[in-house]
């Protein structure tokens, strides 16, 4: 039987994003408590995750847009075992896919909600969690919680 111990400083962190020049505005906004999405200047559709081209029409004329932070729960799974640091110390947790009010689907985590309260279509709101540091700066990720 093995046990999972908290990540040591030398353990790789699988929960930390690696911002680059393109995604820096997204991560900076998250650190300030704002969720950004991309909206295509060609077809007008919103998309998430951030990428430099529109997945609908392949246009490169996208721009950042502040999302409302409202979403509905599309699906979820309660994770009871995860051996990658630091997830092992967080189990159980709720991995989820949510439909943002602006249209895109987003993978995320549901927090501050008991498993028995989860329902497809339930109203959610964005929250933010600082997960650690990368290159001397705090890293904040969007998560969701019940809007009620």
pLDDT at 29 over 80: yes
pLDDT tens readout for residues 134-144: 665 678 999 99
So what's the pLDDT on residue 11?
65
pLDDT at 108 over 80: yes
Separation between Cα atoms, residue 68 and residue 146, nearest integer Å: 15
Where would I find the beta strands (DSSP E) of the chain?
36-40, 46-47, 62-66, 70-79, 93-100, 105-110, 123-134, 137-146
Return the DSSP state at 42.
T
pLDDT at 123 over 60: yes
- 50/12: higher pLDDT: 50
pTM of the model: 0.85
Average confidence score pLDDT of the chain: 89
């Amino acid at each position: 039987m093995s046990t999972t111990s908290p990540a040591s400083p030398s353990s790789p962190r699988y929960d930390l994003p690696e911002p680059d020049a393109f995604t820096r505005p997204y991560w900076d906004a998250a650190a300030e408590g704002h969720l950004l999405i991309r909206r295509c200047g060609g077809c007008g559709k919103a998309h998430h995750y951030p990428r430099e081209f529109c997945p609908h029409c392949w246009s490169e004329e996208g721009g950042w847009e502040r999302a409302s932070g409202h979403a509905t729960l599309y699906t979820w799974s309660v994770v009871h075992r995860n051996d990658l640091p630091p997830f092992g110390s967080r189990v159980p947790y709720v991995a989820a896919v949510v439909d943002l009010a602006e249209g895109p689907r987003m993978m995320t985590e549901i927090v501050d909600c008991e498993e028995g309260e989860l329902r497809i279509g339930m109203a959610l709101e964005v929250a933010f969690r600082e997960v650690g540091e990368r290159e001397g700066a705090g890293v904040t990720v969007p998560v969701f919680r019940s809007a009620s």
